[in-house]
Amino acid sequence: MTDSSTDSSTAAQSAAAIAAARLRAVEESTATLLRETGGLTPEAVGEPSALPGWTKGHVLTHLARNADSLVNLLNGARTGQDIPQYASPSARDEDIERGAPRPLAEQLADLAASHERFAAAAAELPDEAWTVQIRHRAGYLFPAHELPLRRQMEIEYHLVDLGADYTPGQWPADFAEQELPRLAEQFEKVDGLPTLTLAATDTGQRAALGDGAEQLTVAGPVRALAAWLSGRSDGTGLRVQRDGTELDHTALPQLPPMG
Whats the size of the chain, residue-wise? 259
Which residue spans of the chain are classified as CATH 3.30.1050.20?
Answer: 179-251
Encode pLDDT of 91-122 as tens digits.
999 999 999 999 999 999 999 999 999 999 99
- What's residue 193's pLDDT? 86
> Under CATH, what is the fold of the domain 179-251?
Nonspecific Lipid-transfer Protein; Chain A (3.30.1050)
- What's residue 29's pLDDT? 98
Q: What CA–CA distances, in Å, run from 248 to 38, 216, 240?
A: 38, 12, 6
Encode pLDDT of 5-16 as tens digits.
677 889 999 999
Which residue spans of the chain are classified as CATH 1.20.120.450?
Answer: 4-166
Instruction: Check if CATH label 1.20.120.450 holds for domain 4-166.
Output: yes
pLDDT for residue 188 is more than 90 = no
**pLDDT averaged over every residue in the chain:** 93
pTM: 0.93
Query: Mean of the pLDDT values across residues 61-80?
Result: 97
